[in-house]
């Protein structure tokens, strides 16, 4: 029985066939040359002394919870994130299930000066080139949905065109794939992508798999709602945090982001 993740990837495959016809790969490669220089995300996430490293996410809706924000202005949100201490910005570009658009990345790349993550369901070389052509600085690869050779090939292609891959893992099998691919930016996602449920025990467990791997930069994804959780996982070895829902649903996005970075007051959670 297909789950929501399978459904999303099936829809993306159908969509990609149409996209290839509308915009041939040759045109995408030409457009890559029109973008600003890539901003190195690894450097941005390693800089010390500037608070906790938050990859703040722009996400209109989810298939699990529907719309997350009433007044959705991606460019204004990107500016607020930049002005309030985000180390990088993640932008959902999947349209059918998350209400995203590649144009959001392109607009933000012209307006802000921090790295941008193209977050989507990527399985094809075309999408990697497309990520660079829209102005992204790094892109997401979901290990669960790729075999180890696919993952390695897409990661290596990203390197060739100047993009870092954030390799997302959910279990020990995913971690093995990520290590095989040579991932340097490794995410541990606490959300079950088939049900939408989050469990921070996933990060607590999988962090043990990375002991002694000092070359990895580790990103905690999903389920972070408080400054105390950020501090806990920094103590366990996490370097950065990809946070979307808690920011998108906050009454004041700027204040909530400052709380996560450690530069603001603790906001009430109710």
Give the phi and the psi of residue 205 in degrees, each rounded to 5.
-75, -50
Task: Return d(Cα 270, Cα 261) in angstroms, integer.
Answer: 20
Rounded-to-10 torsion of CA 51, 168, 204, 59:
60
The answer to whether 84 is a known catalytic residue is no
The answer to whether 130 is a known catalytic residue is no
All residues at 6 or more sequence positions from 11 whose CB lies less than 8 Å from its CB, including other chains: 96, 97
One of 12, 53, 119, 256 is an active-site residue; which one?
A: 119
Task: Return d(Cα 177, Cα 133) in angstroms, integer.
Answer: 27
The answer to whether 245 is a known catalytic residue is no
One of 94, 106, 130, 221 is an active-site residue; which one?
A: 221
The answer to whether 15 is a known catalytic residue is no
One of 109, 131, 189, 190 is an active-site residue; which one?
A: 189
One of 12, 52, 53, 59 is an active-site residue; which one?
A: 59
The answer to whether 252 is a known catalytic residue is no
**151: buried, middle or exposed (CB in 10 Å: 19+, 13-18, 0-12)?**
buried
The answer to whether 221 is a known catalytic residue is yes
The answer to whether 59 is a known catalytic residue is yes
One of 12, 52, 53, 57 is an active-site residue; which one?
A: 57
Residues with active-site annotation:
57, 59, 119, 168, 189, 221-222
């Amino acid at each position: 029985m297909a789950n929501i993740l399978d459904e999303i990837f099936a829809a993306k495959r159908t969509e990609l066939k149409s996209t290839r016809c509308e915009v041939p790969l040759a045109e995408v490669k030409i457009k890559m040359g029109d973008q600003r220089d890539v901003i190195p995300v690894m450097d941005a996430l390693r800089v010390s002394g500037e608070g906790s490293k938050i990859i703040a996410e722009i996400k209109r809706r989810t298939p699990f919870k529907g719309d997350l924000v009433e007044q959705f202005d991606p460019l204004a949100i990107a500016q607020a994130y930049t002005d309030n201490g985000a180390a990088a910005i993640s932008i959902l570009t999947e349209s059918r299930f998350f209400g995203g658009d590649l144009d959001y990345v392109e607009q933000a790349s012209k307006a802000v000066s921090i790295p941008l993550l193209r977050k989507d369901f990527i399985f094809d070389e075309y999408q990697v080139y497309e990520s660079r052509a829209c102005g992204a600085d790094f892109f997401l690869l979901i290990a669960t949905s790729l075999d180890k050779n696919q993952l390695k090939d897409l990661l290596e292609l990203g390197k060739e065109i100047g993009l870092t891959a954030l390799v997302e893992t959910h279990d020990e099998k995913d971690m093995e794939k990520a290590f095989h691919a040579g991932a340097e930016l490794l995410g541990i996602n606490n959300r079950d992508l088939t049900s939408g449920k989050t469990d921070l025990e996933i990060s607590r467990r999988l962090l043990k798999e990375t002991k002694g791997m000092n070359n990895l930069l580790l990103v905690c994804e999903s389920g972070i709602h408080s400054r105390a959780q950020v501090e806990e996982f920094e103590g366990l070895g996490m370097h950065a945090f990809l946070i979307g829902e808690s920011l998108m649903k906050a009454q004041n996005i700027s204040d909530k982001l400052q709380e996560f970075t450690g530069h603001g007051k603790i906001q009430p959670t109710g």
